[in-house]
C-alpha cells in the first residue's frame, strides 16, 4: 500500500522567515510526486516532480525530489501571511490506476 | 488544464437523507476521482469513476453508501446516502490534467450532517 508521511504536522513562523516542508513516501512503481496548497476546500497545484535532483521553482516556492532516499522538500522563502495554508504532498504510482495518495499535510501559519 | 465545476458548494443535511454532488469538466477525461476530507484529516480516495463501467471503490467505501454515476466523459455525480454526522466532510472531485500540471480539483463540497 502506498504511503506518504509529511513533517512537521504544523508550523508557525514569522513573516519573512524561510520554511522547509518534508515529504517521504513509499509507492509501488513511482511515477510522480505532487505538492498542493489548500487554503479552504480545493487544493491548488504547486509542483509535479518526476526526476531526482531537478529543482522546480515558482516565485518564492521551490521543490526538489530525491528518488534514492524517497523524499521531497518544499521550500518557501520570505514567507508572507498569504502563505498560511495546509500544504499537501501526494504520490502517484504506475500500479495504482493513476490515483493520488496524500500525506496528512503540513499546516503552516505565518504571523506578522 | 481542465476546469471543473462542482456543486453544491456546501450543504447542511438531516441525518438519514442523501445528497448528490455533481462535477462538470470542461473537457473530456477518461478517469474522474472522488475524494473525502474529514475534519482535520487529509484527502482519502473514495472511488475512481470511468465512463461506461462501474466505479472502482477503495477499501472501506461501498457502492451502496457512495453510488457514483459517470454518464459521459465530462460529467460525474457522487451520492452520499443515508447520511450520518460521521459523513460531515469536504468532498472533492478530481481529474488528471495535462502532463505537467498534475491533477485538477473541483471547488469542493462542504457537507454538514445534523
Helices and strands (H, E) in chain A, number of each type: 0, 11
- Contact between A104 and B45 using a beta-carbon 8 Å cutoff: no
The pLDDT value recorded for residue B14 is 97
Interface test with A, best of B2, B5, B25, B43 (most A CBs within 10 A): B43
Residues 6+ away with beta carbon under 8 Å from B15: B83, B84, B85, B113, B114
Distance CA B114, CA B88 (A): 9
Residue B87: φ, ψ to 5°: -85, -5
The mean pLDDT of chain A is 93
Sign of CA dihedral B52, B53, B56, B61: positive
The single-letter DSSP state of residue B75 is E
Q: Quick one: pLDDT at residue A100?
A: 87
Chain A residues lying within 8 Å of B45, measured CB to CB: 99-101
Q: pLDDT value at position A46?
A: 95
User: For residue A92, what are the contacts with CB-CB under 8 A and spacing of at least 6?
Assistant: A27, A31, A32, A33, A34, A98, A99, A100, A101
DSSP letter at A12?
A: E
Low-confidence ranges of chain A (pLDDT < 70): 95-97
For testing the chain B interface, which of A43, A87, A104 should be mutated: the one with the most B CBs within 10 Å?
A: A43
Averaged pLDDT, groups of 10, chain B, 114 residues long: 92 98 93 93 92 89 96 95 97 81 90 97
Would you state the pLDDT for residue B91? 98
- Nearest-Cα residue of chain B relative to residue A6: B42
* Partner B, chain A 65-94, Cβ-Cβ below 8 Å: 88, 90
Q: How many CB atoms lie within 10 A of CB A45?
A: 17
Amino acid at each position: 500500500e502506498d504511503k506518504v508521511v509529511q513533517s512537521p504536522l504544523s508550523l508557525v513562523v514569522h513573516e519573512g522567515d524561510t520554511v522547509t516542508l518534508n515529504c517521504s513516501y513509499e509507492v509501488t512503481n513511482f511515477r510522480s510526486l505532487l505538492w498542493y496548497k489548500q487554503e479552504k476546500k480545493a487544493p491548488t497545484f504547486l509542483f509535479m516532480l518526476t526526476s531526482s535532483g531537478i529543482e522546480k521553482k515558482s516565485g518564492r516556492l521551490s521543490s526538489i525530489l530525491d528518488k534514492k532516499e524517497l523524499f521531497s522538500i518544499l521550500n518557501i522563502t520570505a514567507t508572507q501571511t498569504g502563505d498560511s495554508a495546509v500544504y499537501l504532498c501526494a504520490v502517484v504510482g504506475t500500479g495504482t490506476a493513476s490515483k493520488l495518495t496524500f500525506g496528512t499535510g503540513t499546516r503552516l501559519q505565518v504571523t506578522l | 488544464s481542465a476546469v471543473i465545476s462542482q456543486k453544491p458548494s456546501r450543504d447542511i443535511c438531516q441525518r438519514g437523507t442523501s445528497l448528490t454532488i455533481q462535477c462538470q469538466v470542461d473537457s473530456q477525461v477518461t478517469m474522474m476521482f472522488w475524494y473525502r476530507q474529514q475534519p482535520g484529516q487529509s484527502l482519502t480516495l473514495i472511488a475512481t469513476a470511468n465512463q461506461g463501467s462501474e466505479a472502482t471503490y477503495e477499501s472501506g467505501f461501498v457502492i451502496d453508501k457512495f453510488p457514483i454515476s459517470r454518464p459521459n466523459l465530462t460529467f460525474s455525480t457522487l451520492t452520499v446516502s443515508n447520511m450520518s454526522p460521521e459523513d460531515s466532510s469536504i468532498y472533492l472531485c478530481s481529474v488528471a490534467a495535462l502532463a505537467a500540471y498534475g491533477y485538477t480539483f473541483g471547488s469542493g463540497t462542504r457537507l454538514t450532517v445534523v
